[in-house]
Amino acid sequence: MVVVTGQNKVSGNPDDAMSSSDAEDDFQEPATPTATQAGQALPLLPQQFPEVVPLNVGGMHFATRLSTLRRYEDTMLAAMFSGRHYIPTDTQGRYFIDRDGTYFGDILNFLRSGDLPPRERVRAVYKEAQYYSIGPLLDSLEDIQPLKGEKVRQAFLGLMPYYKDHLERIIEIAKLRAMQRKARFAKLKVCVFKEEMPITPYECPHFNSLRFERSEGEPKLFEHHCEVDVSFGPWEAVADVYDLLHCIVTDLSARGITVDHQCIGVCDKHLINHYYCKRPIYEFKITWW
């Protein structure tokens, strides 16, 4: 009798043994697949989740229903816990999400019952909602303060050409001057003007007559560059110079930069006849430490 093992070894009477070629013709055990071949031939089954899901989000522990995580189909959480993706677990069997869990409770509260965070956490929760792609939460947060007001502010700043570039220039100039002087602070001059051309109650009637008599082919008489480091304007909106100054200080402060400013006069550049620029000049003081 001939016995064929997984290694194709043959035992028994040598005279009765078949040749290796004959044995292979009658029986050949398939080779053990490699890990790569197994992954291609035998796809992993969908990951199964319990009805109550224990979570470890960046070291903070939560528990919620699976249906809560899947509440909105187009979110990252719904995709993660759909079974199509593998979610690792910690030593206690909690499903691990490698994300700061500080505001994850606010995310869950919205998914559970539509609750929104208090105002002081709105911006931070909005950032988390962006990461998890929770569109309904993003829409709700954008409709309350402070994000609602931020949308209005950004609409105003959208009228300002090169606003972000000018902020970067303020920072770079202040940093360079402080490093050159080895000082805690640096000062620079900033012009902020709403009107492109000078208009005062005294000049208005003369200015208007001069303006309408000028042909389109002539150069702009009042177009010039004030002797300042950075210049903002002009723009057409109800918001005035003080509103833009508030935006500049707010955005610099949001980047951890301490800034003070004060008006130090106006540009005295002569334009034509008795007309002068009169754009307000502000001194910005940037303190680095």
- Per-residue confidence (pLDDT) for residue 89, from 0 to 100: 95
Q: Rounded to whole angstroms, how far apart are CA atoms 234 and 213?
A: 22
- Per-residue confidence (pLDDT) for residue 196, from 0 to 100: 63
- Could you tell me what percent of the chain has a pLDDT over 90? 62
- Per-residue confidence (pLDDT) for residue 208, from 0 to 100: 44
- Per-residue confidence (pLDDT) for residue 5, from 0 to 100: 47
Say whether pLDDT at 221 is over 60: no
Question: Average of pLDDT values for 61-80?
Answer: 96
Of 199 and 60, the structure prediction assigns the larger pLDDT to: 60
According to CATH, the superfamily of the domain at 52-144 is: Potassium Channel Kv1.1; Chain A (3.30.710.10)
Question: Average of pLDDT values for 61-77?
Answer: 96
Say whether pLDDT at 219 is over 80: no
Q: Which of 12-26, 48-62, 68-82, 98-112 has the lowest mean pLDDT?
A: 12-26
Give the residue extent of every domain in the chain: 52-144, 158-201+225-287
Q: What is the pLDDT of residues 238-281, one digit of tens each?
A: 899 999 999 999 999 999 999 999 999 988 877 666 677 888 99
Residue 4 falls in which region: left (phi positive, over 0), alpha (psi -120 to 50) or beta: beta
Question: Average of pLDDT values for 112-118?
Answer: 97
184 pLDDT band (50/70/90 cuts)? very high
- Per-residue confidence (pLDDT) for residue 204, from 0 to 100: 45
- Per-residue confidence (pLDDT) for residue 228, from 0 to 100: 94
Quote the pTM value. 0.65
- Beta strands 60-65 and 95-97, pairing class: unpaired
- Per-residue confidence (pLDDT) for residue 27, from 0 to 100: 42
Q: What is the DSSP string of the chain?
A: --EE-TT--EES-TTTPPPHHHHHHH--PPPPPPHHHHHHHSPPPPPP--SEEEEEETTEEEEEEHHHHTSSTTSHHHHHTSSSS---B-TTSPEEE-S--TTHHHHHHHHHH-----GGGHHHHHHHHHHTT-HHHHHHHHTSTTHHHHHHHHHHHTTSTTHHHHHHHHHHHHHHHHHHHT-SEEEEEEEE-S-SS---TTTHHHHHHHHHHS-TTSPPTT----SSSEEE----SS--HHHHHHHHHHHHHHTT-EEEEEEEEE---EEETTEE---EEEEEEEE--
Q: What is the pLDDT of residues 12-34, one digit of tens each?
A: 454 554 444 444 444 444 444 44
- Could you tell me what percent of the chain has a pLDDT over 70? 73
41 pLDDT band (50/70/90 cuts)? very low
Question: Average of pLDDT values for 105-120?
Answer: 97
Say whether pLDDT at 64 is over 90: yes
